[in-house]
Amino acid sequence: MTQTLKEIFLLATAALAFALPSCTGASRSDPPHVEPIAEPVTPAPAAERTPTPTIENAAYEEAAAYSASHGGLALVVIEGDRVALAIGQNGHELDEAHSLHGASESFWGPATVAADNEALLDLDEPVTFTIEEWEGVRWKSDMRIRQLLQYTSGLESGVYPLLREKPANQYERALTLEMVAAPGERFQAGPSHLAVLGEVLRRKLAPKGFDPLSYLEAQILDPIGLEIESWERDAAGNPDLANGARMTASEWVKFGILIRDLGSWNGEPVLDAAGIEACLEPSEIQPSFGLTFWLNTREPSAAKSRASTADQSAARPEELGDIVMAAGAGNQRLYVIRSLNLVVARFGNDGRDWRDPVFLDLITAAAASDR
């Protein structure tokens, strides 16, 4: 059995059920808000690379209209170093921040790889090297850091005890969650894995004066000039790795450029290219997921996720196997397509009839028409 793009996005969408959608009340029928500019957009320095509201390439108008009619709030498309499209939609301004919801997860694969490169940890070390109280506990003592990032740790999803109940210390609560499978045997999306990772990082980084978020800022966000509006923390001060980020689409797209360019920013290395490639390698148990990124792989799947497979129409060419996606509830999306030198950031407000394959068909067709 092979997984098509349709099946991959179905799995991703079902996995997003643990994140609460935004409720802005924006109309889904309004046309896209477009303010064209006369002069071509040229690349700006890292600290100043903020797209101006525009559709520079008219080929993207259909994709923009699809986004707007399905609860779209903002849409930014980068072709190479050029801003091809950057608009707010349905009353949402381009410079207005929005929650990424579950798409916040994608920052932590690269951040953990950075910690590996600094010898602060090893992706394949047992979690018990840091969470010593798990030593000798059935299945938990066999868990590896890499499995936390692949969502194959064996932990229960943690939806209700972490996301719904909002414990004062989500990291401590995550350590008490039950195992539902042996590590490496089952893909299970949910906030539990990154909450445990948060505690691992917190203990590893504390001697150096960092917490997980300040480390992410130092290693990734600050070097590329990416400014977040906020990152949600629990009552104990722990950042919510899985759902906490809030920023503008124009800022989020910078992270996509970094991934597309394998860790380089304006020609300067920020992250190790091999480390980024490791984030984009499919796991054996779920080939549609790497280290906190969704992948468009067609490899045979041994996935045992509980995700729904409700019908969804697809219109994407299957040959683009290098599509990488960060996805959050309410159809927050960051797409990276290296073969087209393309990065797309999209904010949404629910839009239950949204279809990733349909939108990507419009986006890639527009990109192809500009070549």
Confidence of residue 370 (pLDDT cuts 50, 70, 90): low
Percent of the chain at pLDDT exceeding 70: 78
The reported pLDDT for the residue numbered 244 is 98
Determine the distance from the C-alpha atom of residue 39 to the mean position of all C-alpha atoms in its chain, rounded to a whole number.
32
Residue 87 has pLDDT above 60, yes or no: yes
The reported pLDDT for the residue numbered 321 is 84
CA distance 200 to 202: 6
CA distance 128 to 148: 13
Lowest average pLDDT, out of 34-48, 173-187, 257-271, 332-346, goes to: 34-48
Confidence of residue 279 (pLDDT cuts 50, 70, 90): very high
- List Cα–Cα distances, 85 to 46, 195, 213, 309, 354, in angstroms: 18, 35, 30, 32, 20
Determine the average pLDDT of the residues in 177-185: 98
The fourth-level CATH superfamily of domain 5-369 is DD-peptidase/beta-lactamase superfamily (3.40.710.10)
For the question of whether the overall pTM of this predicted structure is more than 0.85, the answer is: no
Lowest average pLDDT, out of 43-52, 178-187, 200-209, goes to: 43-52
Determine the average pLDDT of the residues in 86-115: 97
Supply φ then ψ for residue 324, to 5 degrees: -120, 140
Cβ-contact 256, 341 below 8 angstroms: no
HSE value, Cβ hemisphere, 13 Å, CA-based, for 262: 10
